[in-house]
Amino acid sequence: MVLPPLSLDRTAGSLSRQLYDGLRVAILAGQFRVGTRMPSTRALAASLDVSRNTVHQAFEQLILEGLLEGRQGAGTFVAEMPRGIPIGPGAGELSEPRGRRLLSQQGRAIRDVAAKWPEPIQLPGESRGRAFGMGAPADLFPTSVWRRLLGQCWDALSRARGLGRAEHEPLREAIAEHLGTTRGVRCTPDQVIVVSGSQQGIALTATVLLDPDDSVWVEDPGYFGAHTAFVGWGARVVPVAVDDEGLSVEVGQRRAADAKLAHVTPTHQFPLGKTMPLRRRAELLAWAQAADAWILEEDYDSEFRYSGAPLAALQGIDPNQRVIYLGSFSKSMYSGLRMAYLVVPRDLAPAFRAARQVVGGPPPVLEQAVVARFLSEGHLDRHLRRMRRVYAQRQRCLAESVGEQLDGLLRVEPDETGMHLVGWLRAGVSAEEVCRRAAAEGLELLPLSSYRARAGPEGVLLGFSEVDERALRHGVSLLRKALV
């Protein structure tokens, strides 16, 4: 037989592996006919200048995989391939798949709803230091503290043989403690379910509590990620108008009194920024109790209230345990951390815990340990105190710059919480058009319409958290070009 050119690279790892790969590809590609006798291991070893053992190992592997067969005393032969295994020229290529390629209903719903997710803005060139992102500023996170905790926690887990553990108990204790003192959340550690980001928290809630076709109230305008998770789950999403007091319970009851769940952001409505007053909270809780429904309270940027302490959570005043509380470390720490937490009513905790185990599992144990220390040693409190001051200044700077430079073109109202302001446009101006033109100037701007189910006054979301005051002022001057 003529061997195909087998080029072995002595610097690239196991030679027998390379030989195996070369022979395998050649056999599958049909370069050897079925029944062809392979050269002896001695001959092949000599011709390739490798040891016989190297060849032997490669042959053994191919025999195990059924591509070669050894016949007692007669040598090694190319085996007959079962039907269905691709051989012949081009066997290494993937053909166009044939047959039906069916996704599930859920699979199709998710693919379709994800296609409507607002496109990430493509900024020309380098986007660092450009306004108006809404994320945590990369340069103000206490990275050296975190780095130290990483090393310490890694060592401690290694020593205690804790790297195989899934759940780090001290984290749930630290979260329960933190939420109790800063958010008025009433819970014990066993009610805390640590998850890999808010989306997983929302998806878990849908899994445990919603049947397909159940109705869910979502705020309009509201957080698109929640919307997609519910649509992806197959629920009937009912957008409910938001007024100055947050989600309108009256409108919700008119549109779908029998909804099974309401997703709300009562502390600081996203994206409009209003706070739900006590009266409205009571109305929402009363509806949930009467309707046997649940409330998913998303409390994502409550930490960033600049005057006074943050408003306490809805969860803490619910006498009926109808509230599932969802918080995240994406904004208070950093978003690549991918960690969030649910606080669930005590009687639902076993089902939520099982659901997380069956569909996902907790975040890595190292991150759990680091976050636990970051909380319990007071680093988060310190970081939040600092960021509140910084964000308050940045917001003031943004509002002043808009007032000075964009008077008559764009209107913003100061807010006591959060990481963005809504910039309201003059009537007749298209927010999409403004955002497109702003992107050409390197500005990260999103139209309010991306978060709306029904038309309303046009506006844009102006994040002030990510960059410093100089960049914000420069951003406002660039924004002027997009507005006139």
Q: Which residues in 294-313 contact its own copies (CB under 8 A)?
A: 307-309, 311-312
Does 65 participate in binding its own copies (rule CB under 8 A)?
yes
Distance of alpha carbon 88 from alpha carbon 80, whole angstroms: 13
Applying the rule CB under 8 A, the residues between 174 and 203 that interact with its own copies are 181, 184, 186, 196-197, 199-200, 203
What DSSP designation does 190 have?
G
Buried b (16+ CB within 10 A) or exposed e, 352-364: bbebbeeeeebbe
Beta bridge partners of 295: 262, 323
In the list 26, 30, 60, 411, the residue contacting its own copies (rule: CB under 8 A) is: 60
Does 440 participate in binding its own copies (rule CB under 8 A)?
no
Binding characters for its own copies, 74-113, by CB under 8 A (x = yes): -----x-xxxxxx----xx-xx-xxxxxxxxxxxx-xx-x
Which of these ranges, 136-144, 396-404, 405-413, 454-462, lies near its own copies under the rule CB under 8 A? 136-144
Establish how many alpha carbons lie within 13 A of residue 395's alpha carbon, considering only the half-sphere containing its beta carbon: 23
Distance of alpha carbon 414 from alpha carbon 420, whole angstroms: 10
In the list 35, 75, 151, 414, the residue contacting its own copies (rule: CB under 8 A) is: 151
Distance of alpha carbon 461 from alpha carbon 13, whole angstroms: 53
Which of these ranges, 32-40, 251-259, 316-324, 468-476, lies near its own copies under the rule CB under 8 A? 316-324
Does 277 participate in binding its own copies (rule CB under 8 A)?
yes
* Residues 49, 52, 54: CA angle, nearest 5 degrees: 85
Which residue, 312 or 453, has its beta carbon nearer to its own copies?
A: 312
Here the tokens at position 447 are 């139209």
What is the smallest separation between the CB atom of 13 and its own copies, expressed in angstroms? 7
Which residue, 5 or 164, has its beta carbon nearer to its own copies?
A: 164
Which residue, 5 or 84, has its beta carbon nearer to its own copies?
A: 84
Applying the rule CB under 8 A, the residues between 336 and 395 that interact with its own copies are 336-339, 345-348, 350-351, 354-355, 357-367, 381
Could you tell me which of 129, 20, 202 has the C-alpha nearest to residue 442? Answer: 129
What is the smallest separation between the CB atom of 89 and its own copies, expressed in angstroms? 13
* Encoded amino acid at 464, one letter: F
Distance of alpha carbon 144 from alpha carbon 381, whole angstroms: 16
Binding characters for its own copies, 9-48, by CB under 8 A (x = yes): ----xx-xx--xx--x---x--------------------
Which residue, 49 or 292, has its beta carbon nearer to its own copies?
A: 292
Applying the rule CB under 8 A, the residues between 234 and 273 that interact with its own copies are 260
In the list 41, 54, 57, 328, the residue contacting its own copies (rule: CB under 8 A) is: 57
Is 421:399 a contact under the CB 8 Å cutoff? yes
Distance of alpha carbon 238 from alpha carbon 471, whole angstroms: 39
Distance of alpha carbon 77 from alpha carbon 69, whole angstroms: 5
Contacts of 472 by beta carbon, 8 Å cutoff, 6+ apart: 131, 132, 394, 397, 398, 401, 464
